[in-house]
Structure 1
Amino acid sequence: MRLMSIIAVVSVAVFAAGCVSETSYNRAQEIVRGSPAAKRDGVNKCYAGARRASPARKAEMAKIMNVSPRRDVARIYCQRAFNGVASGRITYDDFRTQSPRFIRVIQGR
């Protein structure tokens, strides 16, 4: 499915790695949960990767996320994703499979 592949490509930017183990995910989750500076740094690194997406991909992400394509889609995506990870709303399995829960979080619901 094309939309899922777009989400997967942008999701990789969340931890700036192509393959994240559950242990690494849990460690990163605990770090961003306890350190606002680490979370901010993570969002910035995610944004650095996600903002390079093509305009067409950003427009599709804007549709998925229910935001205007004129807004900074990459920044909003990264903030929502990291907030979801830090709060525990996005689990490792949600992250790995881009589950409906993952989609709800990046939609801001």
Structure 2
Amino acid sequence: MRISAVLTAIAATAMLSGCVTESSYKQAQEIVRGSPAMKRDAIDRCYSGASRATPARKAQMAKIMNVSPRSNVARTYCTRAFNGIASGRITYEDFRTKSPRFIRVIQGR
């Protein structure tokens, strides 16, 4: 799988629960950990998908993340999620199950 395809898959599923294999997750994690430019690209790809979420979904995410619904919820979510993935704070299992650890990371804690 091409690098951009892996990042696109991770980015798309960062907001919308989908199917990402552990192997592709770890590959993407190493990519965003080692390349700030690729991490920015992944955040941008995630944002482009997440910004199309319904207003109700964005309001729900704003509540979960403890941010104002008037803030850029999609950008905040994607940035926090990919920073957590790159730092190793979000594991594949956390990402897949949206675990309490995943929630803490997207809450900025």
TM-score, normalising length: structure 2:
0.85
Where does structure 1 lack aligned partners over 5 or more consecutive residues? 1-10
Q: Which residue of 2 aligns with 1:28?
A: 28
- Tell me what 1:55 maps to: 55
Q: Which residue number in structure 1 is paired with residue 93 of structure 2?
A: 93
Q: How does 1:74-85 map to 2 (within 5 A)?
A: 74-85=74-85
Kindly tell me the number of residue pairs found equivalent between the two proteins: 99
- Where does residue 107 of structure 1 map in the other structure? 107
Specify whether residues 16 and 65 from structure 1 end up closer, same or farther in structure 2 by C-alpha distance, changes over 3 A only. Answer: closer
1:19, CA displacement in angstroms?
Answer: 1.4
Q: Percent identity?
A: 73
Question: Contact 1:15–1:46 at 8 Å: present in 2 too?
Answer: yes
Task: State the Cα distance separating 1:15 from its structure 2 match.
Answer: 8.6
Tell me which residue corresponds to 1:64: 64
The letter of the residue matching 1:99 is S
User: After superposition, what is the alpha-carbon deviation per residue over 1:24-59, rounded to whole angstroms, capped at 9, x for unaligned?
Assistant: 000000000000000000000000000000111101
AA aligned to 2:87 is: S
Q: Offset of 1:12 from its aligned partner?
A: 4.4
Give unmatched runs, 5+ long, in structure 2.
Answer: 1-10
Give deviations 1:62-95, integer Å, cap 9, x for gaps: 0000000010000000000000000000000000
- TM-score normalised per structure 1: 0.85
Asked if the contact 2:12–2:45 (Cα under 8 Å) also holds between the matched residues in 1, the reply is no
